[in-house]
Structure 1
Amino acid sequence: MDALKADELQELVAIATSVGWGAADILLAMKPSDLNVQDSGDGPVTAADMAANHYILENLQATCGTRNFGYLSEETYKIQASGEPIPQPCVWVIDPLDGTRDYIKGTGEYAIHIALLQKDRPVLAVVACPAVERLYFATLNGGTFVEKRNQLPQRVQVSQRNRIEDLTMVASRSHRDERFNQLLNRFPIQHQRSVGSVGGKIAAILEHTADVYLSLPGKSAPKDWDLAAPELVLTEAGGQFTHFDGSPLKYNQAEVSQWGGVIASNGPCHSWLCDETTRILAEIDKNYPLE
């Protein structure tokens, strides 16, 4: 399959945004008594995860017609995993409920991620934040937009804040270990806040309430479906999203976990932040060697 053309991407983004809103309705309508929380080994899974996942897959497959797409979903990859990348040149990557713990707690800090990869990079992305009724979407080289309920989409750009003392970092409140806490304590950005889902963290950067997101794998690591859609909506809004060494992320590899540390930012200080993160981690690992 050749590179998707601009008109094809626009057709697909219309499909993905519609599906994103439909999945949001499912999550908003689910009652706490119906969640049937289970432990998947990687974290909790609820009936809401499964219902949204089924809805997204069913509707993407029905509306995308005979196009030769692959599908990588958080809720189904274990039963289809072969240790090899999905062979189709274009692959939908889906997280029907990013931030399940926050969804269970009722914080509202959860999101829906839908991304379309071409080879190993995202070319289309949707990040829906149901609790605040906002949906962000982007296409490669087409910019990022935010859509509110029954309103026309508006173009989104990240802030241009470029002084370290003015920046705010957003990080996970639950996926932390001692090494990550050491990094946060030594990090030059001391304005820090916690948000539940990766999609919510990137939305905070898009909304100018944060500027930097940091992820450091410990016993587990973020997966393709955690990062692919948030990456594109950030970068198409002018931000940057890389490994600590500045290299780009690659998706649909044999391993779905993104073990390299990840830093996302509004952009102006990104290279310096990558260097500083690498320096601090080297000091931490010297004093607290990994087992």
Structure 2
Amino acid sequence: MKDIQEILAIACSVGWGAADILQSYYHGTAKNFDLEVQYKQNEPVTVADVAVSQYILEKLQASLGNEDFGYISEETYKVQAALTQELVWIIDPLDGTRDFIQKTGEYAVHIALVKEKRPILAVVAVPEAEKLYYAIKGSGAFVETRQRQSKKIQVSSRENIQDLTVVVSRSHRNQRLDYLLQKLPFANQKAVGSVGCKIATIVEQNADVYISLSGKSAPKDWDIAAPELILTEAGGKYTHFDGTPLQYNTGDINQWGGLLASNGQFHEELCQQAEAILGEFDKFKN
């Protein structure tokens, strides 16, 4: 089997190729650029999602095969038990489809390699920013430009909890989350689409915290696996509110409960505050 650096080089090349395809649809230069929006479980799906999913799977499988690697992609996933291969790719060909359709520019490609339920390699491409973020477990996080120039990235450092900026979703909002965000001591909020773009905002030091709460639905493995490793290798933290690590390829692709991503400062304090605030909310609502 190829070593991890070779696998990363393949994943980065596939990430840039996927970004090119998405941009061709986004800017209307693809041969068939009618997005043909359909809805699957209330979430939009376009021909771009499907085309990029097919591209990523074909490229990875051609380079790496199916023997050592399993593959989970948002567009091809069927409810199933956890894959039994030691190494499993978890892929979101287009994270932020609503933003893609609405032309905010805040969409991303997520490619993560998971071993024993934890990510060990990640690529997040943000096409409209012309940037690709990548990380290998234990080796730091990096951002690469179209010219293939790379630099190491590190999360922000703030002295006061009040100085933190929280990045919030435009579309995935509910009453519990809005209540929580009102009660937490953040002076600033920034609305950004796509989990990949939100985490990019944190590793670029333009924000410090991101919170997601499951409601009737929850974020999926492919929403989080790649961005999590980029963030943690840049010095941040991404956990459940109780501090437990996220796990992937468990047989349930939903990430239930409260999840907090941060620059690592005040992380435990924010998790504790969030649990207490939601406890108040739930008691008040009941």
Asked if these proteins are the same fold (TM beyond 0.5), I'd say yes
Q: 1:102-181 counterparts in 2 under 5 A?
A: 102-181=99-178
Give the drift of 1:102: 0.3
Q: 1:209-224 counterparts in 2 under 5 A?
A: 209-224=206-221
Equivalent residues of 2:133, 2:143 under 8 A apart: yes
Partners of 2:161 and 2:126 in 1: CA distance: 28
Partners of 2:225 and 2:66 in 1: CA distance: 24
Give the drift of 1:181: 1.1
Give the drift of 1:42: 3.9
What are the Cα deviations for residues 3-49 of structure 1, in whole angstroms up to 9, with x where unaligned? Answer: x9xx8111111000000000000000012952110011140000000
Q: 2:76 maps to what in 1?
A: 76
Equivalent residues of 1:162, 1:269 under 8 A apart: no
Equivalent residues of 1:111, 1:128 under 8 A apart: yes
What is the CA RMSD across the aligned residues, in angstroms?
1.3
Number of matched pairs: 281
Partner-residue secondary structure (3-state), 1:218:
coil
TM-score by length of 1: 0.94
Give the drift of 1:190: 3.0
Give the drift of 1:147: 0.2
Partners of 1:180 and 1:264 in 2: CA distance: 15
Unaligned runs of 5+ in 1: none
Q: 1:20 maps to what in 2?
A: 15
Q: What is the identity percentage for the equivalent residue pairs of Structure 1 and Structure 2? A: 57
Partner-residue secondary structure (3-state), 2:3:
helix
Does structure 1 residue 38 correspond to structure 2 residue 25?
no
Does structure 1 residue 282 correspond to structure 2 residue 267?
no
Structure 1 segments of 4 or more deviating over 3 A? Answer: none
TM-score by length of 2: 0.95
Partners of 1:178 and 1:236 in 2: CA distance: 32
Give the drift of 1:254: 1.6
Equivalent residues of 1:159, 1:266 under 8 A apart: yes
Equivalent residues of 2:203, 2:231 under 8 A apart: yes
Q: 1:202 maps to what in 2?
A: 199
The code of the aligned residue for 2:74 comes to E
Partners of 2:14 and 2:225 in 1: CA distance: 17
Equivalent residues of 2:231, 2:238 under 8 A apart: yes
Determine which of 270, 273, 279 is the counterpart of 1:273. 270
Equivalent residues of 1:241, 1:262 under 8 A apart: yes
Partners of 1:20 and 1:185 in 2: CA distance: 37
Q: 1:51-70 counterparts in 2 under 5 A?
A: 51-65=51-65, 67-70=67-70
Give the drift of 1:66: 6.1
Does structure 1 residue 9 correspond to structure 2 residue 1?
no
Partner-residue secondary structure (3-state), 1:109:
coil
Partners of 1:248 and 1:241 in 2: CA distance: 7
The code of the aligned residue for 1:76 comes to T
Give the drift of 1:177: 1.1
Equivalent residues of 2:163, 2:187 under 8 A apart: no
Partner-residue secondary structure (3-state), 1:77:
coil
The code of the aligned residue for 2:77 comes to Y
Give the drift of 1:276: 0.7
Partners of 1:45 and 1:137 in 2: CA distance: 26
Equivalent residues of 2:11, 2:60 under 8 A apart: yes
The code of the aligned residue for 2:204 comes to E
Question: In terms of mean alpha carbon deviation, does 148-157 or 199-208 score higher?
Answer: 148-157
Equivalent residues of 2:122, 2:229 under 8 A apart: yes
Partner-residue secondary structure (3-state), 1:205:
helix
